Amino acid sequence: MTDFGEAVTAHVRSWPKVQKVPAPKLELFTVRDFVPEAMRANLIALIDTKRRPSTIADPNGDDYFRTSETCDLPPDDPQVQALRDLFTRISGIDIAYAEPSQGQRYDVGQEFKNHTDYFEPTGADFQKYCSVAGQRTWTFMVYLNEPEAGGATRFKVAGKTFQPEAGRLVCWNNMRADGTPNPATLHHGMKVRKGVKYVITQWYRERPWK
Ligand SMILES: O=C(O)CCC(=O)C(=O)O
Ligand SMILES: [Fe+2]
């Protein structure tokens, strides 16, 4: 599938128990209990063994913009493959368009401030990140657990906040119908206040990743 607009939206909508989140100017969906519990536990353990400080594409002078840790999930791990299969089934997007899946771990006080997942077309590093596979299209994000307090994902423009809920999927189209990046996708991984938060993010590109 190479139509990342309506075709993916229609595919996601056909998933049992998917909910379309009412948000102006934004295709935003959620599915509760998307990731089975046994898979969540294994993925959390994987993230814990391989984490490194998270980075951002265009440094903006704020060293505290994204303070979490990231894990590049091993593509040959059976749990990672099972999760990627789930993303393929709900999105209908060929796995060739998927970036390597990433785990994120937030300790108390850690966050990912307001950002968009697409690369700024005017950003200094746009060519570096997008010349081969193109822009990011869809984001599929799952919560692997529930911290004791904090750690919500807030879509400021769309006016929607998700509390972390183990197994829940949140997904959205980063592009508008005309193919330009959609600023209404702005979102904030808010500070964890108590406990630890684990999520996995899966991004898709306009062209095959490799
Ligand atoms: O942790 C969250 O709630 C959001 C994560 C996120 O936005 C990202 O990894 O791009
Ligand atoms: Fe994000």
Give the 3-state secondary structure of residue 39: helix
Q: Give per-residue pLDDT as tens, 13-29.
A: 999 999 999 988 999 99
What separation in Å is there between the alpha carbon of 201 and the centre of ligand 2? 8
Pocket residue to mutate for ligand 1, from 56, 72, 104, 193, most atoms within 8 A of Cβ: 104
Task: Say which range, 7-11, 60-64, 75-79, 205-209, has the weakest mean pLDDT.
Answer: 60-64
Which residue segments constitute the domains of the chain, with CATH numbers given? 6-205 (2.60.120.620)
pLDDT value for 1: 45
What separation in Å is there between the alpha carbon of 188 and the centre of ligand 2? 7
As a whole number, mean pLDDT of residues 190-199 equals 97
Measured CA to CA in angstroms, residue 42 lies from 1, 77, 105, 140, 169 at distances of: 30, 10, 14, 19, 17
pLDDT value for 85: 98
What separation in Å is there between the alpha carbon of 56 and the centre of ligand 2? 10
**ipTM greater than 0.90:** yes
pLDDT value for 2: 53
Q: Is the shortest distance between the CB of 112 and ligand 1 below 6 Å? A: yes
